[in-house]
Amino acid sequence: MAENKLKELSADFAVDVINLVKELKSKRESIISNQIGRSGTSIGANIREAQYAHSKADFISKLQIALKEANETGYWLELLLRTDYISQEVYKDLDTKCSTLRVLLISSINTAKKNS
């Protein structure tokens, strides 16, 4: 159940990030947009890879990579806010979604470690 929620939320978040990147590119911002585009979409990609992990350790590793990517994405969001590329409202919405993914990933990683 948690894995399905993670898959769904990460895909929705990736769509939000892609739309943000489009908007940033229209403002001629390319440094952070490239970075957040990679890290924000990588979260879901690693969650999907974890589905077909070769072992419990591989599963945990993929989720840990997704967690690192979510943390990096949070950093880029903060920089976008501090440089006035996004509004406080946009930041809060995306940061809340990113934080939710981090919490769910931490919970999933801890559960997987406990059950190994």
Residue 114: burial class (beta carbons within 10 Å; 0-12, 13-18, 19+): exposed
Instruction: State the pLDDT confidence band at 4, using cuts at 50, 70 and 90.
Output: confident
Instruction: State the pLDDT confidence band at 46, using cuts at 50, 70 and 90.
Output: very high
Taking only the tens place, the pLDDT of each residue in 61-111 is: 999 999 999 999 999 999 999 999 999 999 999 999 999 999 999 999 999
Tell whether the model's pLDDT for residue 16 goes beyond 80.
Answer: yes
Taking only the tens place, the pLDDT of each residue in 79-91 is: 999 999 999 999 9
Distance CA(116)–CA(100), nearest Å, equals 24
Topology of the domain comprising 2-114: de novo design (two linked rop proteins) (1.20.1440)
Q: Which residue has the tokens 């490239």?
A: 34
What one-letter code names the amino acid at 102? R
Which run of H or E residues covers position 62? helix 56-82
Distance CA(36)–CA(34), nearest Å, equals 6
The pair of structure tokens assigned to 22 is: 């489009």
Q: Which pLDDT score, from 0 to 100, does residue 2 have?
A: 64
* Cα–Cα distance list, 88 to 41, 59, 80, 111 (Å): 22, 35, 10, 34
Task: Tell me the domain boundaries of the chain.
Answer: 2-114
